[in-house]
């Protein structure tokens, strides 16, 4: 039986007990008023007091169970809201990481781009060998990305050192451009020298 089912059953029993106790208290109160002998009246009033106290305690317990259930539901809702908030924060942080990479991430991407051709040539066109080399490069970059000044190293120095450490053969070609022109951009008109 689940906790919710047990709680519901307990509330039903408490409700029934309070109703029975209330009926008994009413009967005792009526009998106490009708009693003519002082001893009988005292005994009935005492029984009424005990019964009415039992009814009050039963009702108090019922209300306590309701408050506890409401508090538990509120705590579960707060926990769920906190988890949702943490998930949203993690998703936003991941999104920012993807859309606005750190200087270290930019440096790593640049090095990978520069060494990509050398990795492919070293693998001699074998995709599996290329993947192994690329993962090796990624692991090496991951190890050194936290070093002071990593993002500020000139790309040719960093790429050259990694190429040497990985024993990559071939010429290291680094291209830079002040502005990037899309491949499908129209060519500027030729000057008239005429």
Model confidence pLDDT, tens digit, residues 131-162: 988 999 989 988 888 889 888 888 888 888 98
pLDDT below 70 — which residues of the chain? 96-98, 176-194
CA angle 21, 25, 31 (to 5 degrees): 145
How far apart, in whole angstroms, are the C-alpha atoms of residue 25 and residue 140? 83
Residue 54 has what pLDDT?
87
Residue 183 has what pLDDT?
46
| CA distances to 10, 78, 92, 100 from 88, in Å | 39, 15, 6, 17
Residue 192 has what pLDDT?
58
Residue 181 has what pLDDT?
47
How far apart, in whole angstroms, are the C-alpha atoms of residue 53 and residue 192? 109
How far apart, in whole angstroms, are the C-alpha atoms of residue 120 and residue 81? 48
Q: Give pLDDT tens digits for 154-170.
A: 888 888 898 888 888 87
How far apart, in whole angstroms, are the C-alpha atoms of residue 132 and residue 137? 9
Asked if residues 15 and 65 have their Cβ atoms less than 8 Å apart, the reply is: no
3-class DSSP state of 180: coil
Residue 52 CB neighbours (<10 A) = 17
Query: Maximum CA pair distance of the chain?
Result: 138
Q: What values do phi and psi take at 101, rounded to 5?
A: -70, 155
Residue 76 has what pLDDT?
92
How far apart, in whole angstroms, are the C-alpha atoms of residue 15 and residue 22? 11
Task: Classify the phi-psi angles of 100: left when phi > 0, otherwise alpha if psi is within -120 to 50, otherwise beta.
Answer: beta
Residue 81 has what pLDDT?
92
DSSP state of 80: H
Query: Which helix H or strand E contains 158, and what residues bound it?
Result: helix 155-165
Residue 22 has what pLDDT?
87
């Amino acid at each position: 039986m689940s906790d919710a089912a047990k709680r519901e059953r307990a509330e039903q029993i408490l409700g029934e007990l309070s109703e029975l106790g209330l009926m008994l208290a009413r009967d005792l109160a009526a009998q106490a008023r009708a009693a003519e002998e002082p001893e009988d009246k005292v005994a009935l009033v005492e029984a009424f007091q005990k019964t009415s106290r039992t009814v009050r305690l039963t009702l108090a317990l019922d209300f306590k169970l309701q408050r506890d259930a409401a508090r538990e539901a509120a705590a579960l809702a707060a926990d769920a809201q906190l988890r949702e908030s943490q998930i949203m924060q993690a998703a936003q942080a991941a999104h920012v990481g993807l859309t606005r990479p750190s200087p270290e991430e930019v440096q790593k991407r640049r090095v990978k781009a520069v060494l990509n051709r050398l990795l492919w040539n070293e693998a001699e066109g074998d995709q599996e060998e290329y993947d192994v080399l690329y993962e090796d490069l990624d692991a090496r970059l991951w190890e050194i990305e936290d070093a002071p000044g990593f993002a500020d190293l000139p790309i040719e120095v960093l790429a050259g050192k990694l190429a040497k450490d990985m024993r990559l053969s071939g010429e290291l070609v680094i291209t830079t451009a002040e502005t990037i022109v899309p491949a499908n951009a129209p060519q500027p008109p030729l000057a008239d020298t005429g």
